Structure 1
Amino acid sequence: MSSHHGTPFIPPLNTPQGSPHPPHPPVIPSPGGTTIVPPWGQAAVHSSSYPAYPTTPYTTPGYIPNLPPVTPGGPHYSQAVLSTPQPQVLPNGFSADYTGYPNLGPPRPSPMAGPSLSLHPPAPMYGPTSAPPGGGWGGPPRGPYPPFGPPPPQQPPHSAFPGYGAYTPHSGQWGPPPQLPPHMTPGYGMPMNLDPWGPPPPAPTWVQQAQAQAQPQAMYSQPPAPHMNLPQHLMGGRTSGYVGDRVDPFTAGPSYGPVLEPFLVRVVGAHLKVNPLIEPLPESGDRPHLKWNMLFQSNHCQRSTDPGHVSWANGRDEPATFPRVTAVNIVSQTVPWVMRLQARDPNVGLTCGELIDGLSDEFQKLTSQADYEALSTTRRREVGEAYRHNRSRSIGTPGGRLGEGLRRLDFLGRDSVFGGIVNDERLYMLTEEEHNNHESRERAASQARERASSRGSQAADERERRRATVETVTTDSGEEE
């Protein structure tokens, strides 16, 4: 069950069945015991066991360098130690790259001797912002690091700002960023026969020209945005009263508009709009509507867009009117009662489900003999036939479950299919005096029709009697002759 102010309950998933074997108790190591290394940690792990390792110019593929630990504290420099590098040897006496298999393949070249054959290209020898060694305008090569501190900054010639490289008009992929030409750096004058805005740019290559020509075509071939399938009453503009970013007036739930009392509807001059789900079906086209034989209870009601075996659920919580109201009065030409339907929650208003449930409860009520006698003779005959038909074994009837006694649904006669609800402001509830006068007029008209019918039948009987008398006299006269 769920309420308007709560969240629908969703049952949790079933608990999976556990293993028939009980789990092993956790092992708590003793403080003074000997640490036992698991089997997977006793064997030495070779560098080739790793799936991948980054390749650099200083390491071969598959080699994991053994970096010494960094000790915090102390000075921020270390004194250079000149010694012969020693090969790394494992505790068993083998080298670090020993695999146990003969090396039958070609010898692996050194990464410094040529290009690497690895799938991952090696890193460049210099960063993307540092100048490559040598060059036409490059400065002198940098010396080694001093024993203490970082190297002093060097300023190459023809550089506009300290720390920038020399003039590089055609920088490669890993080259330094473009710098100013010599005549635009401080300390140099303007060369002769040169535009003050600098040399012209180089001519574009055929690749750049092809890209420039193909770019406008790609821009114009961009697919349009997908169309939003919004409801018909939300596709209008502001002049029609609806905009796509507004909330549907018949949205289910509270806090979507005011809820008015019936007497406030006329005070504020509000024009009630009925939910399209319970309105009569238009002749111009089909739309979602309700299919319900009112001889049965509301659980037999079905939405037109649902499968035939599914009871109506989609749209039950939607408001029946806009603005929302706490109660409505339902009148019909087939039943002589005014059915007043109340909302269960005054903060939400009357919903479509509450309206259909209320009508079903009203039709299931028993009626009195006075209501039956107030009908005309024709209506009495129709109600009597409907009473016996609804309790028969015919298809589409409740049958004997209705029991004995006249019910309000028997007054429906053959008009037992729900056709919709409309807002008719010309109708209003009669007072007790007006109701009595209306019944008196109906009763008098019914009696007048009965008397007229009785006089007509008497006149017909008199004509029939006279005809029989004439025939008898004629027959007797013929026999005498």
Structure 2
Amino acid sequence: MDRAVSRWAPGASYGPVLGQTDLYLLGRDAALEVNPLLKGEVPQYQMQFHVVTGFSSSNRNQGDTSVQGKDEPATLPRVTQIILISRFSPWCTIIKKDTGVTIGDICSAIYKDYVEHEITDAEYATLSQRAQDQLKRTAAQHFNNQMQPQGGQWGYYTPQQAPDRLRRVDWLRERVYFEGLSKDDNYVQSRLGFKAPNIFVMDLTS
């Protein structure tokens, strides 16, 4: 007997892929269902994607640092674009894929957006002096954690060094674990001035 195929199975042949125009025309009927992996609804599994390193610690016991279900669609129906915001940063992360955004696409986009982009002088100036000091300490910690294997392996003390740039990931301070997506239209409306079915809030923890 053939086994039933999961509705979240990877592939480009399961249902429609909705674009921005489709979502607009459908209006309130365009409710998107988020993949259970991104909602913490899979037994004995908790999404934990480390934004600084780009690895997942969810399957660390098995020695696997990849994201579980990375090729599965992030939503059903699938969509060509997903917009992410966070309660802990001022930026929007936009993920686009013509065949439908996957879980892996989301994790990759978050990593690139926060690790590869620097904080601008104007963004830095919006912070209080205390917040600026905390940001610099976080940046130094992230920088030295990445450099640690090179000096720490010999057992001698390596003085902390200051990074030559401040990245978006440093803004998050200790909240560097992406654990999924949630829907909060009230918060989205207050942040962006509008809401849409494909705008989600990132769940970030320490």
Q: TM-score, normalised by structure 1?
A: 0.33
Match of residue 366 from structure 1: 118
Instruction: Tell whether the 8 Å contact from 1:273 to 1:423 is kept in structure 2 after alignment.
Output: no
Instruction: Tell whether the 8 Å contact from 2:47 to 2:58 is kept in structure 1 after alignment.
Output: yes
1:64-463 alignment to 2 at 5 Å? 247-268=5-26, 269-279=29-39, 281=40, 286-297=43-54, 300-304=55-59, 307-312=61-66, 314-343=68-97, 346=98, 348-364=99-115, 365-392=117-144, 397-399=145-147, 403-426=163-186, 427-428=188-189, 430=192
Query: CA 1:247–1:423 in 2, change beyond 3 Å: closer, same or farther?
Result: farther
* Equivalent position amino acid for 1:334 in 2: F
* Equivalent position amino acid for 2:101 in 1: L
C-alpha displacement of 1:251: 1.5
How far apart are the structure 1 equivalents of 2:14 and 2:92? 29
* Equivalent position amino acid for 2:128 in 1: S
Instruction: Tell whether the 8 Å contact from 1:295 to 1:398 is kept in structure 2 after alignment.
Output: no
* Equivalent position amino acid for 1:398 in 2: Q
C-alpha displacement of 1:286: 4.1
C-alpha displacement of 1:406: 0.7
Flag structure 2 segments of 5+ consecutive residues without an equivalent: 151-161, 194-206
How far apart are the structure 2 equivalents of 1:307 and 1:264? 42
| SS of residue paired to 2:30 | coil
Instruction: Tell whether the 8 Å contact from 1:260 to 1:326 is kept in structure 2 after alignment.
Output: yes
Aligned pairs, how many? 174
How far apart are the structure 1 equivalents of 2:84 and 2:15? 23
Larger RCO of the pair (alpha carbons < 8 Å, separation 6+): 2
How far apart are the structure 1 equivalents of 2:25 and 2:185? 14
How far apart are the structure 1 equivalents of 2:176 and 2:163? 18
| SS of residue paired to 2:180 | coil
C-alpha displacement of 1:377: 3.6
| SS of residue paired to 1:398 | helix
* Equivalent position amino acid for 1:287 in 2: Q
Query: CA 1:252–1:278 in 2, change beyond 3 Å: closer, same or farther?
Result: same
User: If each structure's strand is expressed as a fraction of its own residues, which one has the higher value?
Assistant: 2
C-alpha displacement of 1:329: 0.8
C-alpha displacement of 1:327: 0.8
* Equivalent position amino acid for 2:109 in 1: G
Deviations 1:142-190 (A, max 9, x none): xxxxxxxxxxxxxxxxxxxxxxxxxxxxxxxxxxxxxxxxxxxxxxxxx
| SS of residue paired to 1:418 | strand
| SS of residue paired to 2:181 | coil
Instruction: Tell whether the 8 Å contact from 2:83 to 2:94 is kept in structure 1 after alignment.
Output: yes
| SS of residue paired to 1:267 | helix
Cα root mean square deviation, aligned: 2.7
How far apart are the structure 1 equivalents of 2:32 and 2:130? 36
How far apart are the structure 2 equivalents of 1:387 and 1:328? 28
Instruction: Tell whether the 8 Å contact from 2:140 to 2:163 is kept in structure 1 after alignment.
Output: no
| SS of residue paired to 2:50 | coil
Q: TM-score, normalised by structure 2?
A: 0.73
How far apart are the structure 2 equivalents of 1:293 and 1:313? 10
| SS of residue paired to 2:192 | coil
Instruction: Tell whether the 8 Å contact from 1:363 to 1:408 is kept in structure 2 after alignment.
Output: yes
* Equivalent position amino acid for 1:261 in 2: G
Instruction: Tell whether the 8 Å contact from 1:259 to 1:326 is kept in structure 2 after alignment.
Output: yes
Q: Kindly, what percent of the aligned residue pairs are identical?
A: 25
How far apart are the structure 2 equivalents of 1:314 and 1:260? 24
Match of residue 16 from structure 1: none
Deviations 1:60-92 (A, max 9, x none): xxxxxxxxxxxxxxxxxxxxxxxxxxxxxxxxx
Deviations 1:417-461 (A, max 9, x none): 222211233314637xxxxxxxxxxxxxxxxxxxxxxxxxxxxxx
Deviations 1:37-69 (A, max 9, x none): xxxxxxxxxxxxxxxxxxxxxxxxxxxxxxxxx
C-alpha displacement of 1:315: 1.4
